[in-house]
Amino acid sequence: MGRLADQLGPRRIFLTGLVLAGVAGTLAPFAPSIGWPAWLRVLQAIGTSAAYPSGMAMLRAWVAPGSRAGTPPAGALAELSIVGNISAAVGPTLGGRWSRLPAGRRSSS
């Protein structure tokens, strides 16, 4: 994905990956057969693998005043790392608890 981002621009690859992951994740609950969620998960993984590195490239391109060229601000990298680690830790736990709820109580609002 890095080479593609170099050719087309990281913003375009980031947005494409974000849309692909979002659409695949949105369509998964409405899958008509058992094979669909697996293929949608593959598309979601491809979208995520495009979005995350491109997001890092866009972050590296943003240079704070007074910092060296190409060096992202430490705070921005720290925030990205913290949010990623928290979501990796909390997401599966909440998803597992949500999936154990009776179907009538699974409200997203």
Residue 17 has pLDDT above 60, yes or no: yes
What pLDDT, in 10s, does the model give residues 67-101?
565 566 677 777 878 888 898 899 888 888 877 77
In order of 29, 38, 81, 86, the CA distances from 52 in angstroms are: 24, 21, 11, 16
What pLDDT, in 10s, does the model give residues 19-51?
999 999 899 888 888 888 889 999 999 999 898
First to last CA, the chain: 35
Residue 63 has pLDDT above 70, yes or no: no
CA–CA gap between residue 53 and residue 11 (Å, rounded): 11
pTM: 0.65
